Amino acid sequence: MTKKTGIEFDKSDTEVLLVCHDCGGTWRAFAWTLAEAEKSAEAHEERAHPGYTGGIRQRLDKRHAKRRERAAKR
C-alpha cells in the first residue's frame, strides 16, 4: 500500500477540508473557498515543513502559470 504524502484537499460544493499526510494526518484545516485553503496549506508548509520544495508551492506556481498563459491568449 502506498503512503500518502503532502496536503490533501477534499473539496465539496461549499467547503474544503485539508489533511497533511506528512504530519501523520494530525494537521487538519477547514476553509470555505479553495483560495483560502491554498493559503492555509501554504502557511502550514512554511511553518511545519520549512525548506520543502514540493507540495502546495508547486501547485500554486502551476495554477498561476496557467492563468498567465490563458490571459496572454486573449
Q: What is the pLDDT of residue 20?
A: 92
Q: What is the pLDDT of residue 1?
A: 60
pLDDT tens readout for residues 3-44: 677 899 999 999 999 999 988 889 999 999 998 999 999 899
Q: 1 versus 16: which is more confidently predicted?
A: 16
Q: What is the pLDDT of residue 67?
A: 85
| 65 has a pLDDT exceeding 90 | no
Report the predicted TM-score, pTM, of the whole model to 2 decimal places. Answer: 0.73
Instruction: Using the CB atoms, write b or e for 14-26: b if 16+ within 10 Å.
Output: eebebbbebeeee
